[in-house]
Amino acid sequence: MSNDQGRLRIAVQKSGRLLEESIELLRLCGIQLLKSKDQLFCKAENFPLDVYFVRDDDIPAFVSSNVCDIGIVGQNVLYEEQLSQQNSDIQSIEEVLPLGFGKCRLSMAAPYSFEYKSSQSLDKQSIATSYPGLVRKFLDDNNVQAKIIEMSGSVEIAPRIQMTDVICDLVSTGGTLATNGLTEVETILESQAVLIKNGSLSSEKQPLLDQLLLRIQGVQEAKSSKYIMLHAPNEKVDDIKGVLPGAESPTILSIQGRNDMVAIHAVCNEGVFWDTMENLKAKGASSILVLPIEKMME
């Protein structure tokens, strides 16, 4: 893969759980991709960004070997690669920003009959996992001697076929564990997708990354924020301002033909739920409108 002319190169998952949200994030950042997502490579047409579609396990190596400058990958994959590879370029990969999707946990899970009291219960037991590095670290940190059996998939069947006593695997809803007669006994890592960067990103590319980061942060803020508009009796303005969730400086506007009321507009940085609206109404607010925010930049 040839070097580029000052374009930022990002590695994202080719297919799987992170693909859609990774592409959606770029889209929300205003980045339009030129080719269809099932190819290995595509260019953005309106931002100096090239996208490489690869298996998630390969993303840290793509970034550390400088084929890509940045990547979107689960922390579980990043840390496992960092623990299982001696390569100093992998160690120097930096986590730039948690992205809030792909959330899951890496957990020990055991058959219901297994009596789990603490990590010591794993002593002399066998553990099937696709994450030998993370499991080894957990065992070492807790002074536990156990046998790790590495499997690349279908880890959850190992206890049922008497291959191992327990497993350590990714869990989100827990449905897969339950189907296989297993229960989660210990979480060893909470994970989500993160934006990573090569440890020695060139100074020429850093401004492009900074620009992308600003956009991603704007998308994240907009997602968690709402624009709220309401009418308030003059004497209730302070009360109402007090219950607007996470609103720093609401705008107070006069309403034509009304001297007894004002309109309040505010950006709320926390969730605005039905009970928030009920609370506002109880304080005297009326005509309450809550709107999504598409983009934000301070």
The residues that touch Zn ion, with contacts defined as CB under 5 A, are 56-57
Question: Which string of x and - marks every residue 43-62 that binds ligand PRT (by CB under 6 A)?
Answer: ------------xxx-----
Between 183 and 211, CB nearer to ligand PRT: 183
As a whole number of angstroms, the distance between CA 203 and CA 209 comes to 10
CA distances from 205 to 28, 62, 98 (A): 21, 16, 20
Percent of the chain that is helix, strand, coil (3-state, to 5): 30, 30, 35
Based on C-alpha coordinates, what's the Rg of the chain?
25
Determine if 66 is a binding residue for ligand PRT (CB under 6 A).
no
Find the part of the chain contacting ligand PRT (CB under 6 A) among 10-18, 33-41, 111-119, 284-292.
10-18
Nearer to ligand PRT, 175 or 257 (CB): 175
# chain residues binding ligand PRT, by CB under 6 A: 21
Which residues, 175 to 194, sit near ligand PRT by CB under 6 A? 175-176, 191
Binding mask 132-171 for ligand PRT (x = CB under 6 A): -------------------------------------xxx
Residues 6+ apart with CB under 8 A from 127: 108, 135, 146, 147, 148, 149, 164, 165, 166, 167, 168
For residue 20, give the amino acid letter.
E
d(CA 264, CA 252): 5
Q: By CB under 6 A, name the binding residues for ligand PRT.
A: 13, 16-18, 55-57, 74, 76-77, 102, 104, 169-176, 191
